[in-house]
């Protein structure tokens, strides 16, 4: 996150310098490119954070297996912490509390496999990035609109915007950003980056049903 913050601050400094010190209308194109670099940087950060988080969660499964085999007291176990995280919902807590310890261990392990072991505050950062993307996109839209409205200035400078650039920055890239935002919020088929999410009551019930069927 520190690297992302450094890139963000440095890019914003560059953007401010270009905007306030240049009188060339082409400065708006530099600002547009800068804004999109910021957006792409933010998405790279969030997806890389989820990749790291998923790798860590896979290690959780090994740790709680070792805890179970070594009979580690629940009070000091990772299993207990994970169980508390997924039991913040009252209905989920009531359902899990009815199960035996062995079943609860299996529930946690299957939740890990299904990418349902919890956000650990990642959702908040994902939401901030999505809202920041919207703000940055509309800010660059404002720059282009101000340039297009200033027709007198464009006539004197001879500066114009290539339609291909407008197509890229205001149709193709926004669709790409929209797709990235949707993937951060929802599970889509064949999504490349698995994202751990909070389990629902239905998720827990399905896992319990699977465990019951496996015993038959």
pLDDT at 24 > cutoff 80: no
Phi and psi for 150 in degrees, rounded to 5? -80, 65
Look at residue 146 in the predicted model and tell me its pLDDT: 63
Q: Which pair of tokens denotes residue 7? A: 């890139």
Look at residue 151 in the predicted model and tell me its pLDDT: 46
The secondary structure of 43-105 as a DSSP string is: HHHHHHHHHHHHHHHHHHHHHHHHHHHHT--GGG-HHHHHHHHHT-SHHHHHHHHTS-HHHHH
CB-CB contact of 29 with 161 (8 Å) = yes
Please write the tens of the pLDDT for every residue from 79-94: 999 988 888 888 898 8
Q: What is the mean pLDDT of residues 5-16?
A: 66
Look at residue 110 in the predicted model and tell me its pLDDT: 92
Q: What separation, in Å, do the N-terminal and C-terminal C-alpha atoms of the chain show?
A: 48
The SS3 of residue 167 is helix
Question: Is the whole model's pTM more than 0.85, yes or no?
Answer: no
Look at residue 28 in the predicted model and tell me its pLDDT: 67
Look at residue 30 in the predicted model and tell me its pLDDT: 72
CA 113, distance to chain mean position in Å, is: 19
Q: How confident is the model at residue 3 (pLDDT cuts 50, 70, 90)?
A: low
Length of the chain: 216
Q: How confident is the model at residue 216 (pLDDT cuts 50, 70, 90)?
A: low
Q: How confident is the model at residue 27 (pLDDT cuts 50, 70, 90)?
A: low
Higher local confidence (pLDDT), 59 or 163: 59
Q: Considering the chain, what percentage of its residues have pLDDT values greater than 90?
A: 27
Q: What's the mean per-residue pLDDT of the chain?
A: 80
Look at residue 88 in the predicted model and tell me its pLDDT: 82
Range in 20-29, 47-56, 61-70, 144-153 the model is least confident about = 144-153
Pinpoint the alpha helices (H) of the chain.
Answer: 2-21, 27-70, 78-86, 90-97, 101-113, 122-149, 151-157, 163-167, 173-185, 201-215
How far apart are alpha carbons 10 and 16 in whole angstroms? 10
How far apart are alpha carbons 88 and 104 in whole angstroms? 15
Please write the tens of the pLDDT for every residue from 147-197: 565 544 554 445 555 556 666 667 788 888 888 999 898 887 656 788 999
Among 32-41, 49-58, 163-172, the range with the most confident prediction by mean pLDDT is: 49-58
Q: Which residue is it, tokens 């950062």?
A: 125
């Amino acid at each position: 996150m520190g690297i992302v913050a450094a890139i963000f601050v440095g890019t914003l400094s560059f953007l401010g310098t270009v905007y306030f010190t240049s009188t060339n209308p082409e400065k708006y194109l530099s600002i547009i490119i800068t804004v999109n670099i910021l957006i792409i940087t933010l998405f790279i950060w969030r997806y890389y954070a989820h990749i790291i988080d998923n790798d860590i969660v896979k290690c959780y499964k090994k740790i709680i297996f070792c805890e179970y085999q070594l009979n580690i007291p629940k009070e000091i176990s990772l299993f207990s912490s994970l169980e508390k995280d997924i039991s913040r919902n009252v209905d989920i807590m009531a359902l899990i509390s009815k199960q035996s310890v062995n079943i609860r261990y299996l529930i946690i392990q299957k939740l890990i496999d299904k990418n349902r072991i919890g956000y650990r505050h990642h959702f908040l950062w994902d939401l901030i990035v999505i809202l920041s993307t919207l703000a940055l996109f509309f800010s660059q839209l404002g720059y282009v609109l101000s340039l297009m409205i200033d027709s007198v200035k464009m006539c004197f400078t001879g500066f114009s915007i290539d339609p291909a650039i407008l197509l890229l920055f205001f149709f193709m890239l926004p669709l790409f950003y929209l797709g990235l935002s949707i993937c951060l919020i929802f599970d889509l088929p064949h999504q490349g980056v698995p994202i751990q999410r909070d389990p629902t009551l239905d998720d827990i019930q399905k896992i319990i049903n699977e465990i019951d069927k496996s015993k038959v």
